[in-house]
Amino acid sequence: MTQEKAPVLTAVEILKLLPHRFPFLLVDRVDELYKPESGARVGRKIRAIKNVTINEPFFPGHFPHRPVMPGVLQIEAMAQAAAISCVELDGPRMDVAIAAVDGARFRRPVVPGDTLEITAEVLKDRNMMMVIRCEARVRGQVVCEAEMIAKMFPLATEQ
């Protein structure tokens, strides 16, 4: 049995980076976070995990007879992982918003018991706008993919 590596970011650390909270925080941990040595955002990559359990608040309504994770929440999980890859962990607090979703494809249903392995890579950086390629897999099979345009902006300071 192989020993699993410790996560790069735990759920508690993710809470410090993302503004999302229950029931909308859709990243449980980050296993890999790559940043080019140049410091550029282009080429940044992330591998994050979302464990999908029967206790998710959306399952009773989507659908009672056959629970399926809504596609929009799969997109949101990928967007949250992408946002983590874009922000500087020790830099100024930034917020990341989805400006566009292109080429979204849903390959198979995501059901309770699945573990989404989410990957994202920054393809283009236009100062505060970035193009990010995202993919989610379950047991190695692609279940969802999309290209997103993300807008970054400084997080408003609390008064």
Task: Give tens-digit pLDDT for 71-80.
Answer: 999 999 999 9
What is the C-alpha separation between 58 and 73, in angstroms, rounded? 9
Structural domain boundaries, residue 138: 11-154
pLDDT of residue 159: 41
Q: How many domains does the chain divide into?
A: 1
Q: How far apart are CA 29 and CA 9, in angstroms?
A: 6
Residue 2 domain-assigned (yes or no): no
Residue 64 lies in a domain: yes
| Domain containing residue 104: CATH number | 3.10.129.10
The answer as to whether 3 is a domain residue is no
**Residue 25 domain-assigned (yes or no):** yes
Q: Is residue 135 part of a domain?
A: yes
Residue 4 belongs to a domain:
no
pLDDT given for residue 100 in this prediction: 96
> Within a domain: residue 27?
yes
pLDDT (0 to 100) of residue 88: 78
Query: What amino acid positions are annotated as catalytic residues?
Result: 62
Q: Please state the pTM of the whole predicted model.
A: 0.92
pLDDT averaged per 10 residues in sequence order, the chain, 159 residues: 79 91 95 93 96 96 94 97 87 86 98 98 94 98 97 73
